[in-house]
């Protein structure tokens, strides 16, 4: 049975809070007993600033650290590749995950981008140019229609001139809370896409598969030309362990190169605390 995701911001300083949630406004106190889970230690040990939100789908419980940040909207960066992939498949811009695009010969700072790539390779390597080509082929009108139908973030993609960059430096914004809502609809096949498109994208998202669990996700990195701004790192996705499903959205400041790797390590530590890994 599908269950709408509800949020309540029950925070005690830097502690994560866990509780069943009522459908009342976000700043209300949920009914029931609140348990505190200390995720702050992981942020401290890894030396990063940010937030994490984990939703236990079957038990209708939310675990979060830094709830005010979880309600703050950010550029989605490459986490938008999840939706971009769905739209490209649904519109026939690409046939499947093996769709090959020819590299334009422009040398980019990540060497593994500088070659012909399939969608599967481009997703795993987070190759920006590949998804910019897809966005241009989709076009502004179709892209706006699908972003709105998917109810993704603030649904603002800008003009035709911004079609290949709106998720990187445009007006599109999404909160960690909204990422979880989108992921829940993805997991439950409740997005306006065919079962085939959804299955292909879920396969693209697999990060790790073991006999005990399957971890799916997508990273993102919001960079700025203005170096005075703090760059932002994302990791969003979900874990299936037996019948249990945990959806997560991790959002941190990127202040040094090693912070990028902390996105996955931080998420894994928090999921392990919950027995999800």
CB-CB contact of 247 with 57 (8 Å): yes
Q: Is 22 an active-site residue?
A: no
- Distances, alpha carbon 38 to alpha carbons 18, 44, 221, 240, 241, in Å: 11, 11, 26, 23, 22
For the chain, the straight-line distance linking the first and the last C-alpha, in angstroms and rounded, comes to 24
Annotated catalytic residue: which of 28, 51, 68, 78? 78
CB-based burial of residue 168 (10 Å sphere; 0-12 exposed, 13-18 middle, 19+ buried)?
Answer: buried
**Alpha-carbon gap, residue 83 to 38, rounded angstroms:** 32
Question: Could you tell me if residue 188 is left (phi over 0), alpha (psi between -120 and 50 degrees) or otherwise beta?
Answer: alpha
CB-CB contact of 128 with 143 (8 Å): no
With helix as H, strand as E and coil as C, how does 107-136 read?
CCCCHHHCCCEEHHHHHHHCCHHHHHHHHH
Q: Give catalytic residues, as residue numbers.
A: 78
């Amino acid at each position: 049975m599908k269950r709408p995701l509800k949020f309540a911001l029950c925070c005690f300083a830097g502690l994560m809070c866990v509780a069943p949630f009522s459908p009342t406004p976000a700043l209300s106190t949920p009914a029931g007993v609140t348990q505190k889970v200390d995720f702050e230690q992981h942020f401290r040990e890894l030396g990063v600033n940010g937030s994490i939100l984990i939703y236990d789908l079957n038990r209708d419980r939310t675990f979060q650290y830094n709830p005010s940040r979880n309600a703050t909207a950010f550029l989605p960066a490459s986490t938008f590749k999840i939706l971009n992939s769905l739209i490209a498949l649904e519109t026939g811009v690409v046939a499947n995950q093996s769709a090959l695009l020819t590299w334009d010969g422009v040398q980019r700072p990540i060497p593994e981008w500088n070659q012909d790539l399939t969608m599967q390779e481009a997703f795993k390597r987070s190759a920006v140019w590949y998804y910019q080509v897809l966005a241009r082929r989709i076009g502004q009108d179709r892209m706006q229609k699908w972003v709105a139908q998917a109810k993704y973030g603030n649904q603002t993609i800008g003009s035709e001139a911004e079609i290949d960059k709106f998720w990187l430096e445009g007006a599109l914004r999404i909160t960690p809370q909204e990422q979880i809502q989108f992921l829940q609809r993805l997991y439950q096949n409740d997005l306006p896409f065919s079962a085939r498109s959804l299955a292909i994208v879920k396969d693209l998202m697999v990060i790790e598969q073991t006999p005990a669990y399957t971890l799916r996700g997508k990273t993102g990195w919001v960079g700025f030309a203005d170096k005075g701004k703090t760059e932002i790192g994302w990791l969003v996705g979900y874990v299936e362990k037996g019948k249990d499903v945990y959806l997560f959205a991790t959002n941190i400041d990127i202040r040094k190169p090693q912070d990028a790797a902390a996105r996955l390590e931080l998420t894994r530590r928090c999921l392990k605390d919950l027995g999800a890994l």
